[in-house]
A and B are shown apart, each in its own frame.
Chain A
Amino acid sequence: MKRFLVALGVLFLAVGTARAQSLDDLNIQIHGYATQGFAYTTNNNILTMKSSDGSPQWTDAVVNVTAQPTSKLRVGVQARYMILGNLGNAITLDWAAVDYKVNDAFGVRFGKVKTPSGLFNETQDIDPSYMWSLLPQGVYPLMSRNSLLSHYGGVVYGTVKLGQSLGKLEYRGWAGGRNLPGDDGYFLNQSESGETLPNGISWVLTGEALHWKAPVSGLMIGASNTQYRSASAPLLYGPYSGAENLSVFNSPSYFAKYEKNKVMVGGEYIRLLVPYAVALTGLPVNPGVLDERSWYGMASYKVTDKLMIGLYDSQSVDHKASLGAARDSMDWAISGRYDFNQYLYAKAEEHILHGTLVGYDITLNPAGLQPNTDMTIFKVGVSF
């Protein structure tokens, strides 16, 4: 309901601003894209797909409507229909926002907005914008991307020129709230262990990011951090009820990218340190700490105007988990993308995976998880 109220508010503002202006003056645009993926894995099923049989249950369709009544004011809304294995199969609101850019040094965006953390967070769900079929899962987990993607609230942004010898500094600051419903992929492993969060979890969060565009052409170095306030959510576990209490935690990220001519090289490190306590009526409080540290390094090369190839190495480790394959996740990926024209593209990607920390569920792997998996992905996409 909240999301539709936000969308309604944005549309109301758009209509209000539109008074006395023709449709042409409003610069109304409609864009969209759709992708269809196919995944085949050896050993384990992954991403809630029956991928060991070969699965096409990986579809995204997005429609976006924006209006720009003045050069400084934009309003827009974007909806998505997504299926990923057993997840999704619903229309959701990606974002609905009003953006007022005073000048290059200061702008503000509010509504439901993308959270501008890390190197790819704002674009991690926009398949046409990058070469990879699957971004490094330790940092941008597809099954639980809603936990990072957006928030209700605002973002301030701008660029400060530091002079020719020092480059430019882009800043972002954000604040607001985020709710993850109980059936989100983020909680899949928890619900499989018998714990359910009927209302999901809601956080109040703030964050900031700096991107230094160095005087070396094509080089960007950045850092971001999101601070989550403490949160408490009702929890059910068999006959017991209680709460899951999360303490204040941070999610810092450090990243860099060099992109020039045909070459792109990038990398990112992120840490998620979450102290929590499970308090169930009649049982002793059970405290714990999640300490996931993930990184990736990637490189791509544009072979022709239409063909791009690349590879990445991604690793993720939960330092508080017991030793074993479920403690970490390692992924070597080799990838290619071919753009038939500006609208239609195809992708192919091969992953060599070790460890089961990210992307697996028990339901689809009833015989237990194997430590190693190879995955082949094909994708086609169209955008307009």
Chain B
Amino acid sequence: MKKVFGMLLFMALVAVFAPGAQGQVIVIANNSVKAADVSKSDLKDVFTGGASSLKDGSHVTPVLLKSGAANDEFLSAYVGKSDTAFKASWRSLVFSGQATMPKSFDSDAAVVEYVSHTAGAIGYISKGTPHDGVKTLAVR
């Protein structure tokens, strides 16, 4: 019984203190974006096609990862959708003539490369990925 209790306590502590998914992904933007941070709600609006600017007026264009852990974590933490549901919602906008599908890339490095050279681009990558030439946006 003690062992079971101990195990449950250990799992609870791990759950409480383990780094959350949001800690594994960072949001990056082209240096032309004036904002230094972004709210979760604005981030969700931008990445679901509901907005094309941040609160400070910076015009932004979302850039996606095609797949992978960072992609899944970002969508789960900030958009609240699975990758399948997320892509389906974008297709809904595309096929009804309301939006163009955001550019998507195979790797974090490719996202960094594109964001660094594209005014207004905003994307997400794994925390450990080198990201010289872009700015990091804190998520409030």
Contact = CB atoms under 8 A, between A and B. Distances in A.
B120 interface: yes
B97 A128 contact: no
Interface stretch (A48-56, A66-74, A246-254, A319-327): A66-74
A335 B82 CA distance: 20
B85 interface: yes
Contacts of B87: 342
Nearest to A308: B85
B91 A104 contact: no
Chain A interface size, as a band, is 35 or more
Interface string A43-69: 000000000000000000010101010
Interface string A25-50: 00101010100000000000000000
B92 A129 contact: yes
Given A114-B96, A114-B97, A159 B51 contact: yes
A193 interface: no
B68 interface: no
Contact of B92 (A109, A126, A342): A126
B33 to A, nearest CB: 13
Contacts of A114: 96-98
B97 A71 contact: no
Contacts of B50: 159
Interface in B73-98: 80, 82-85, 87-89, 91-92, 94-98
Nearest to A383: B91
Interface in A321-367: 339, 341-342
B131 interface: no
A371 B94 CA distance: 40
A342 B101 CA distance: 14
Interface stretch (A94-102, A181-189, A275-283): A94-102
Nearest to A339: B84
A123 interface: yes
A261 B50 CA distance: 18
B84 to A, nearest CB: 5
B22 interface: no
A165 interface: no
B97 A97 contact: yes
Contacts of B88: 128-129, 339, 342
Instruction: State the main secondary structure of chain A at its contact with B.
Output: strand
Nearest to A80: B95
Contact of A261 (B80, B97, B120): B80
A305 B80 contact: no
B29 to A, nearest CB: 14
B107 interface: no
B97 A31 contact: no
Contacts of B101: 29, 31
Given A71-B59, A159-B51, A64 B94 contact: yes
B91 A33 contact: yes
Contacts of A383: 91
Contacts of B83: 305, 342
Given A31-B95, A159-B50, A306-B84, A129 B89 contact: yes
A313 B96 CA distance: 26
A122 interface: yes
A122 B96 contact: yes
B95 A71 contact: no
A112 to B, nearest CB: 9
A74 B50 CA distance: 16
Interface of A: 27, 29, 31, 33, 62, 64, 66, 68, 71, 74, 76, 78, 94-95, 97, 99, 101, 103-104, 109, 113-114, 122-123, 126, 128-130, 159, 260-261, 302, 305-306, 339, 341-342, 383
Given A31-B101, A339-B88, 9 more contacts: A29-B100, A66-B100, A78-B95, A78-B97, A122-B96, A129-B88, A305-B85, A306-B82, A342-B88
15 contacts: A27-B100, A27-B103, A31-B94, A64-B94, A71-B59, A78-B97, A103-B52, A103-B53, A103-B59, A114-B96, A305-B82, A305-B84, A305-B85, A339-B88, A342-B83
